[in-house]
A and B are shown apart, each in its own frame.
Chain A
Amino acid sequence: EDQVTQSPEALRLQEGESSSLNCSYTVSGLRGLFWYRQDPGKGPEFLFTLYSAGEEKEKERLKATLTKKESFLHITAPKPEDSATYLCAVQALTQGGSEKLVFGKGTKLTVNP
């Protein structure tokens, strides 16, 4: 069964204090790994898709990396507006055509000014 585990569950940072969020996964065959941001009361907002080990993608203060067993979301010099829950999800290679995402429980990030 495909599984995604995110750590830590919650993280408090001071503004400007860089850190990383972890996403460990087990999947029969990886089709894609996705990072989303979710603000309270809203739907997940797409950030990145990673397809293969060694791949990296960046957007403003965020950088996502992928290995064969885990992905990291690095946050450089965060600002209070980066406070949100960050969700990791995997999509498996399947013969049946299903494209479902399997999500972790998320990391709740709080950035204090």
Chain B
Amino acid sequence: NAGVMQNPRHLVRRRGQEARLRCSPMKGHSHVYWYRQLPEEGLKFMVYLQKENIIDESGMPKERFSAEFPKEGPSILRIQQVVRGDSAAYFCASSPDRGKSETQYFGPGTRLLVL
């Protein structure tokens, strides 16, 4: 049973370019979450999605960041016109349909470096 998959694992972009991060949830999971981890900081929630719906985007920066989870294919976190401050590890997590409190299982992350 494959875990959460993320690609690429490492991504280098120059300032002003776009970054696209992909996440495939675990089989049978319909909830996807994106978190960001800055150096020496804790994991910070960004956005929570279900298929074709954004449920909670309270942690997303207002500009340049967007996320989607289409009916078919992986979830995408898109960062437009990247700046050096976007350099961080971005983690995706998934959970199955709702129960008491469903555990979120994390992928290996994408490490974004903005030059």
Contact = CB atoms under 8 A, between A and B. Distances in A.
Contact of A102 (B45, B101, B109): B45
Interface string B48-77: 100000011011000000000000000000
A87 interface: yes
A89 B93 CA distance: 14
Nearest to B102: A99
A31 B101 CA distance: 6
A45 interface: yes
Contacts of B33: 99-101
Given A44-B91, A103-B43, A103-B44, A98 B101 contact: no
A100 B95 contact: no
Given A43-B108, A45-B106, A106-B42, A100 B48 contact: yes
A51 B101 contact: yes
B28 to A, nearest CB: 16
Interface string A75-93: 0000000000001010100
A63 interface: no
A49 interface: yes
Nearest to B59: A100
A51 B101 CA distance: 8
Nearest to A89: B43
A4 B42 CA distance: 10
Given A49-B101, A51-B100, A98-B56, A43 B109 contact: yes
B80 to A, nearest CB: 23
Contacts of B58: 98, 100
Interface string B23-51: 00000000101010000011111001000
A44 B106 contact: yes
A97 B55 contact: yes
Contacts of A32: 100-101
Interface of A: 4, 31-32, 34, 36, 42-46, 49, 51, 87, 89, 91, 96-106
